[in-house]
Structure 1
Amino acid sequence: MKLSAIVAIFGLAAFANASYINYTTVTGYFLQDEGSTNATEFIYYEENFGLINRTYPGEEDSCVLKGMSQWQRFYEEVIRLNRQAPPNVQYKVFFFGRHGDGYHNAAQTYYGTPAWNCYWAELDGNGTTTWRDAALTPAGIDQAETAHNFWQELINEQSIHTPDAYFTSPLTRCLQTANYTFNGLDFPQSSAEFKPTIKELLREGISIHTCDSRSNESYIHNLVPDWTIEYGFTEYDELWNGVTGETSDAEAVRSKKVLDEMFRELGSDKNENLFVSVTSHSGQIGSMLSVLGHRSFSLNTGAVIPVLIKAETLQETVATTCFTWSTSAHCTAPPATSVASCVCASSTPAITTPLVTVTSEPPTITAPVCYNLC
């Protein structure tokens, strides 16, 4: 990768700020915070997004809160937490939504995970279906429309405070999911406009799979012309090269950085932007949950998890963290066996070069890539 691209996307130590944001998850508000909640079986739209039916401090003395819905009272609770917090602490609720079922998900199910990982995922498609920067399947559209209908139900029945800001991954399946979920809702009159900001670092964990590569900026702009594409977003994907991929440690640092970016873009006013929608991917949401100190909670396609976040800004400089991206080998033809693991045919040994044409100048990541946490 070019040095200029690394600086533009991640930042280097020379550009460090003297502040650091420490994140923690505030538990006791959502079922997903609790170890007894089974992520596999949890259905968010049957559980009020997981919001626990409880009272909050000070409610017994307030006549105003009587008759309010659980979501209205929770919003007042977030306001209370911010009002009583020190100047360097703020609380926000992030609704992390995983994209709906994509054609890459369907292909992985069809071929089986071992064969998918070691051969099919390195292709653009199979001649019938395309999964490079995959679009939503009809099932995925249905999942996003389910989220749409649930948001409308909560607006109508509980007067939920709708998101004050929207962020999304640049990959097509997330752009579509956010659009199907929020576009056309009958928002309350005082609601923020649904106009997401597209952020590079909200993308899925970067592997050699073509579904992890993004389309060009011009394509994204034409798909959602009224949305905001963040400053510095490049025309071509400068992170995916079909050869190297992030380690989980590298993705975690990227997750920390994008959380920092979103919090800083939301501003320091504790009375604004309290509810935030983030449309991303299973791996990336899992990585952000880890950074936030949340328990591991895997999301099914189309699912949503809200998290009450405490962000504490500390006046200290944090050392730059460096990780080397890893190279993955894969087959050049469908594997000989793939029931439990991938075994390439003897006539087609594993290679570490792309099976598809890389349309932009391929970045070469050989030395450790440094990410500035500040």
Structure 2
Amino acid sequence: MRLSTLGSALVGLAVAQASTINYTTVTGYFLQDEESTDPTTFDYTAENFGLIGRAYPADKEHKKHGSLTQWERFYHQVTKLNEHSPKHVEYKVLFLGRHGEGWHNAAESYYGTPAWNCYWSELNGNSTASWADADLTPGGISQALKANEFWQKEINEQRIHAPDHYYVSPMTRALKTANLTFTGLDMPKHSAAFKPTVKELFREGISVHTCDHRRSRSYIHDLFPHWPIEHGFTEEDELWNGVTAESSGAQDVRSAQALGDVFFTSSKKKPFVSITSHSGEISSILRVIGHRTFKLSTGAVIPVLVKAEKVDEEPATSSVPWEVSPHCTEPPVTSVTACVCPSSAVPVTTPLATGFWDDF
């Protein structure tokens, strides 16, 4: 099948490109790096984005460090790490933001995860909501606006350095979250303009769920006409097919390739990067950079300090296969931990949803 072949080709290319950069999380700066921090209770707005109050080696190089905020001193520390690093090493702070609640999140809560995964997620929606390439719920909009308010608070009170570069997943929920989060902020002088690059490989893990099926390039351009869309972005989604799904390994390879387009592409003097994405994709990025598992709630944001090092190695050429995902053809009989299809409905691997994009 053409789409599956294309997906495998993408993964194989990602292995070859990503293997030339090694990523490491630099710990000791954020609470989210610490094993003692519980992701289920962590509130980034109550914890200064998780930045730990501490002294830095670079403090002694700044005569007035005593009058600086923690975020100003941290930015100075990252600047010095880059200044003192060789050409093949670069440090960046990735602000990883999960989109606000989407209608697919609400539907999964309503139906329960087992039933959602094996039947309802393969449909375009129900009589009250659509979740193919899901939009934000009112709650999701509030979560994105909460992030906007917190960024403004950090700018005003902590004089935080605003992102130098912005990237966003092409899924509707991520696009709208990024827009609500950063539009209208009273930014410091000389801050980079908020014009996020729409990047295919920062999308959610590609499953058979219709919420992972992105809309067209034309739709994205019409939604935010002034945002750049990366070169090579196809008009239609050529990765989702409703039959095969990425394994975690395949997604990690994709995430590593995406990071390869972020690092070593601009001056080391621009180290702060915002990436608005998804729970599964952020989890994948964290695996690639060697960070501990840290699941984000909808609308949450965590920064991580990452060291990237170019290595002189022969790139790997093997690819990571995608997987077939059987699902029910009728609403399932479920339990707390598993999904069971009705006896009359044998699990299939063909798409259940059709015609959604005819409305767009």
1:32 is the counterpart of 2:32: yes
Q: Which residue number in structure 2 is paired with residue 352 of structure 1?
A: 349
Q: Which residue number in structure 2 is paired with residue 270 of structure 1?
A: 268
Provide the secondary structure at the position in 2 that maps to 1:149.
helix
Range 154-163 or range 308-317, more displaced = 308-317
Mapping of residues 1-374 of structure 1, within 5 Å: 1=2, 5=6, 9=10, 12=13, 20-60=20-60, 62-264=62-264, 266-267=265-266, 269-271=267-269, 273-357=270-354
How far has the Cα of 1:346 moved from its partner?
A: 1.1
Structure 2 residue runs without a partner (length 5+): none
How far has the Cα of 1:223 moved from its partner?
A: 0.6
CA distance in 1, matches of 2:88, 2:190: 28
2:3 and 2:239 in contact (8 A); partners too: no
CA distance in 2, matches of 1:19, 1:204: 21
2:122 and 2:209 in contact (8 A); partners too: yes
Range 253-262 or range 148-157, more displaced = 253-262
Q: Which residue number in structure 2 is paired with residue 365 of structure 1?
A: none
Provide the secondary structure at the position in 2 that maps to 1:193.
coil
Provide the secondary structure at the position in 1 that maps to 2:334.
coil
How far has the Cα of 1:315 moved from its partner?
A: 2.3
Q: TM-score, structure 1 length as denominator? A: 0.91
Q: Count residues with an aligned counterpart.
A: 356
How far has the Cα of 1:257 moved from its partner?
A: 0.7
How far has the Cα of 1:87 moved from its partner?
A: 1.8
CA distance in 2, matches of 1:11, 1:331: 31
Q: Deviations along 1:283-320, whole A, 9 cap, x unmatched?
A: 11001101001011110000011010101111222212
CA distance in 2, matches of 1:17, 1:219: 30
Counterpart amino acid of residue 343 in structure 2? S
CA distance in 2, matches of 1:241, 1:17: 25
How far has the Cα of 1:102 moved from its partner?
A: 0.3
CA distance in 1, matches of 2:16, 2:131: 38
CA distance in 2, matches of 1:333, 1:144: 35
How far has the Cα of 1:19 moved from its partner?
A: 7.8
Percent identity reads: 59
Structure-2 change in CA distance of 1:17 and 1:34 (3 Å)? closer
1:18 and 1:315 in contact (8 A); partners too: no
Structure-2 change in CA distance of 1:19 and 1:315 (3 Å)? farther
Range 320-329 or range 88-97, more displaced = 320-329
CA distance in 1, matches of 2:16, 2:321: 21
Range 161-170 or range 341-350, more displaced = 341-350
Counterpart amino acid of residue 314 in structure 1? V
Structure-2 change in CA distance of 1:91 and 1:153 (3 Å)? same
How far has the Cα of 1:339 moved from its partner?
A: 3.2
Provide the secondary structure at the position in 1 that maps to 2:340.
coil
Structure 1 residue runs without a partner (length 5+): 361-374
Provide the secondary structure at the position in 1 that maps to 2:319.
strand
2:11 and 2:319 in contact (8 A); partners too: no
1:8 and 1:232 in contact (8 A); partners too: no
Q: Deviations along 1:92-133, whole A, 9 cap, x unmatched?
A: 100000000000000000000011011100000002100000
Structure-2 change in CA distance of 1:136 and 1:19 (3 Å)? closer
Structure-2 change in CA distance of 1:161 and 1:325 (3 Å)? same
Cα RMSD for the two superposed structures: 2.0
Structure-2 change in CA distance of 1:199 and 1:21 (3 Å)? same
How far has the Cα of 1:261 moved from its partner?
A: 1.5
